Amino acid sequence: MKTAAFFRVEGTVVSRGVLAASAYLAANGQGFRERALRIGGIALAAPIYGLLGQNDRTMANRVAFLAFRGMSEDRVITIGREYFDDVLKGTVLASGVDLIRKAKAEGHTTVLLSESIEPIIGALTEVVPDVDHLVCNQIEFRDGDCTGRLLDPVIGGHETRRWVQRFADENGIDLTRSMAYAAHGPDLLMLAAVGSPCAVNPDFTLRRAAEEAEWPVMEYRV
């Protein structure tokens, strides 16, 4: 059977999270009134996202992308690419790229899992080599406009483990000989699904759990 290396993008490959992307898109809405409304929505969502982030990452991500509601699909695609080029590309962590390159050289299937959406994160494979699969959240569009609703399954919450298990089953991956890298508490179940988990730049929850489980911890924030 094959093996894989799973990387949660936010925290291990890039240093910015989805709330920063939502704020950027909100600030680039068309017209002053639209921008003001969207920025106000992000301001309200931020503390909710912070509260939910450790316990219900799925709901936190749904809240973060509500600011996109009513924005045209073309606008989301255009501003998403601008955000990647102007902001996100500069936050790519060289040590994370090295981990991906090393995993690929060792023969692992490399899988990147992102909380972000394709118009924002899709270009990551242009600057990060050796990526076999980039999996991200999908946002719903109806009649050319964004509803602000993330489609299931939502990457980033506890159900990410179920996605990893399904991916392994469908692709003949032996999880006991596979590895995973992640930075956030809600990634615990995904890390526990593989034989070689590693906490990278971990938050408090993940650091404590990694220490208790005697998992390796890596730090390379800059």
pLDDT of residue 16: 84
pLDDT of residue 5: 98
Q: Which pair of structure tokens corresponds to residue 108?
A: 């692992």
pTM listed for this prediction: 0.87
Can you give the residue ranges of every domain in the chain? 4-218
Q: Which pair of structure tokens corresponds to residue 114?
A: 């992102």
What confidence tens digit (pLDDT) does each residue in 133-168 have?
999 999 999 999 999 899 988 888 778 899 999 999
pLDDT of residue 156: 81
If you classify domain 4-218 with CATH, what class do you get? alpha beta
CA proximity to 1, closest of 172, 167, 122, 208 = 172
Q: Residue 49 belongs to what H/E stretch?
A: helix 32-52
CB-count burial class (<10 Å; 0-12, 13-18, 19+) for 33: exposed
pLDDT of residue 68: 82
Confirm if 18 and 10 have CB atoms less than 8 A apart: yes
Which residues on neighbouring strands pair with residue 181, listed in sequence order? 7, 198
Helix (H, G, I), strand (E, B) or coil at 92: strand
- Give the residue carrying structure tokens 């936010």: 10
Tell me which residues of the chain have a pLDDT lower than 50: 32, 36-37, 44, 52-53
